[in-house]
Structure 1
């Protein structure tokens, strides 16, 4: 008779042998479409076949997974928990089957999952997708956005393969490489009543401000530097994304601290102006982050190079932009 720990391992292996991987494909399609007929079309089977797959999935997981609501189906809490794991498993299996150690971008059909904020998507994706179309027309990208803490966890769990961010607190298992240098600047309405005194720290802190943050712990860009001075700003609006900031600033007396890489582009709008911030250490660097499990992955190495090449024209930072110093 097998010892208890060997029995558990053997029983797990037997359960795995009974698993039909096509059921996970069906579950992924159902969670993507929230609809049995559309999921069947996505996978390329008939509607009765997808209904049967859903019945088997419900039996296998002991959960309804999707419940009828109006014309669509709504995932249960258990289904939402399974969704990223199912997608990761299918992605890993796809890579195992389709990718050879000698990666050929011209013929690859691989899908890469990236973490980018709206700011970095705006800056990096145009050049990246242009190069992708020329070098690897069959390769696709899926972009998600997480808080700094969730980004590190997603890299550890292989929910994303590559992340572009800054100042992440990472364990030794996460590697990084420099993309480009940047710095923060103040953005304000050009005819702001305090425009000439923006660099006075007391005036700056008296102004109502926009804070961009992906989590309550995210103090990058301004709040960390101010905290080191024992100061804090008057935040009137907190947003999770950057691209709405310039229009809000142009239409109000709110001011914002944002990276020069995006601010220099919006400064072309004559309604707004830039100023140096009234605190030290405004410089920082954007970087690529990945788990070291991908260090020997030729496809991953190629993608890192591609994105780094796309960032080359951003490395000049604030070149050609005059900051108000009134």
Structure 2
């Protein structure tokens, strides 16, 4: 006798039949119809070249043939082993006291969203599982490989090119504003283009990158800003702005997310830049993972109350407030 992969489900039916010795009762346990189980029994008789079960002379149930009796014990042992695999998986899952999530993104997205995601993880209960969030640098040309190799579980991105194979959810549209200390000698009005370029700027850029798209936009207009300080990340920008008359151009979401932004003011840029979509992305293999789902479905709400940065009245009442109110989750694609 040779069992094909498509015949393996028949063994589950045979195990129930040998235990209950009643087609009606076995069909009820297996959640299939009685005719369907009778058809499976007919196939089993052909496979084993044996009747396996014959009607009882008492009219109640069925009687196992010697061949069926011989099969019963090893078949029951095999079924128990299969069930134990599922039990061990559940035991490992319940015993896991810590689960690590590797979250990648570009500098701006992590600076804007990491604190929100950490607060969400601390406030929520994840079935007694302690989450460990590991933020890592995502290499844009190799994003899909990083997901498939287990180097990334989630991706936070702004103005990032996502491989079509990844799922994503749009969190909102971000944009740049100019930031300075609150009592800057130039005042808090929006600068003209010439004034903006003449100011001393602090820029943040990844290794090997420039300040694009801001500098690309300026070059297209025949202008260049004066860069006084270049940093690899955002952590020291605020301190430099508070201690000098320098300015920085930063995503608005970063200011809304940073409770330490007191003492800063922001104003509109003198040139238009396209909005930057903020997204959270994941690989399709994680679609049904419950912990993964609870993390990625966090709303990251950009509420106006979050904007702790002192803003000029005309700015606060205008586009900034509209941006924060409009930043709502989009559809999953």
Identify the TM-score tier after normalising by the shorter chain: 0.5 to 0.7
> Rg: which structure is higher?
2
Shift of 1:187: 0.6
Match runs of 1:56-95 below 5 Å: none
Shift of 1:123: 3.2
Residue 158 of structure 1 is matched in structure 2 by 150
Shift of 1:198: 4.5
Question: Are the structure 2 counterparts of residues 201 and 233 from structure 1 closer, same or farther at C-alpha, using a change threshold of 3 Å?
Answer: same
Question: Are the structure 2 counterparts of residues 178 and 267 from structure 1 closer, same or farther at C-alpha, using a change threshold of 3 Å?
Answer: same
Shift of 1:250: 0.7
Is the 1:148–1:168 contact (alpha carbons within 8 Å) kept by the matching residues of 2? no
Residue 136 of structure 1 is matched in structure 2 by 127
> How far, CA to CA, are the matches of 2:311 and 2:205 in structure 1?
27
Residue 120 of structure 1 is matched in structure 2 by 113
Match runs of 1:1-326 below 5 Å: 109-115=98-104, 117-131=110-124, 134-146=125-137, 149=140, 152=143, 154-195=146-187, 198-217=190-209, 219=211, 222-264=214-256, 271-281=263-273, 283-305=275-297, 308-309=298-299, 311-312=300-301, 314=302, 316=304, 322-323=311-312
Q: 1:205-257: per-residue Cα shift (whole Å, max 9, x none)? A: 11121112223336556335435545432222222222321111010121001
> How far, CA to CA, are the matches of 2:89 and 2:187 in structure 1?
56
> How far, CA to CA, are the matches of 2:313 and 2:197 in structure 1?
18
Shift of 1:264: 4.1
Q: 1:1-39: per-residue Cα shift (whole Å, max 9, x none)? A: xxxxxxxxxxxxxxxxxxxxxxxxxxxxxxxxxxxxxxx
Shift of 1:162: 0.3
Shift of 1:156: 4.9
> How far, CA to CA, are the matches of 1:273 and 1:197 in structure 2?
10
Shift of 1:299: 3.9
Aligned residues: 223
Secondary structure of the 1:120 match is: helix
Question: Are the structure 2 counterparts of residues 207 and 186 from structure 1 closer, same or farther at C-alpha, using a change threshold of 3 Å?
Answer: same
Shift of 1:265: 6.0
Residue 33 of structure 1 is matched in structure 2 by none
Structure 2 residue runs of 5 or longer lacking an equivalent are 1-85, 316-333
Secondary structure of the 2:224 match is: coil
Residue 37 of structure 2 is matched in structure 1 by none
Shift of 1:284: 2.3
Structure 1 residue runs of 5 or longer lacking an equivalent are 1-95
Q: 1:47-85: per-residue Cα shift (whole Å, max 9, x none)? A: xxxxxxxxxxxxxxxxxxxxxxxxxxxxxxxxxxxxxxx
Q: 1:119-171: per-residue Cα shift (whole Å, max 9, x none)? A: 4222331123211xx23331422322315527725335330110112111122
Shift of 1:324: 6.4
Cα-Cα RMSD: 3.7
Q: 1:161-208: per-residue Cα shift (whole Å, max 9, x none)? A: 101121111222222211233322111122323335642111101112
